Copies of this chain bind each other. A is one copy, B any other.
Amino acid sequence: MNCLRSKSHLQKEMAQSSTSNSSDMDNSEQYQIRLLREADKVKYLALLSQLTTVGEISDDQWKERFEELSRMNDTYEIWVLEEKSTSNLVACATLLIEKKFIHGVSQVGHIEEVVTDSAYRGKGLGKKLITHLIDRAKILKCYKVILDCKEDLIPFYASCGMKQHAVSAAVYFE
């Protein structure tokens, strides 16, 4: 798989559409997990703004970045959890698949931009989404999945099967 596998620019849903990537229903059938679509702009950016600074993003900027990430669909998978009755996006998380030489030319999954809408917390939706991303990483033959978080979130990620293994250092330019 490489960037040449990308779909047409008319594609409106990121990445694959095979059964293995399609929606996982939760038990209540109230929610579906699916890949981000180009039409999700307003709802998705509103969700991200609960996590961090998003800034002003024009329709053209959105479209350009969305199509760029869609072409690189063996590297970026942006997943959302949608409430079926309202079509609200209530949680999101990105799986970045990094190609390595180590571990026999393997891959590592990085989980990024994890948000659950504040009105929907405490329902296990974040756990459902993270578990889905971990499953995806395994299917994609990553040898591990990692993420950075504040220390007080470790119990949550432990409930998803993850363990603290290191610390994270950063330098900010802005």
Contacts and interface: CB of A to CB of B under 8 A. Distances in A.
B144 A167 contact: no
Contacts of A62: 101, 105
In the complex, the count of this chain's copies comes to: 2
Interface in A119-169: 134, 137-138, 142-151, 154, 157-158, 160-169
Contacts of A157: 169
Contacts of A25: none
A112 interface: yes
Interface in A10-53: 44-45, 48, 51-53
B174 A169 contact: no
Contacts of A72: 3, 72, 75, 99
Nearest to A134: B171
Contact of A167 (B69, B76, B164, B174): B164
B102 A54 contact: yes
Interface residues of A, number: 66
A82 interface: no
A48 B101 contact: yes
Contacts of A101: 44-45, 48, 54, 57, 62, 65, 113
Interface in A65-101: 65, 68-69, 71-72, 75-76, 96, 98-101
A162 B166 contact: no
Given A55-B103, A99-B65, A168 B170 contact: no
Given A64-B105, A144-B174, A148-B148, 8 more contacts: A48-B102, A68-B99, A72-B99, A100-B112, A100-B113, A148-B166, A149-B169, A165-B170
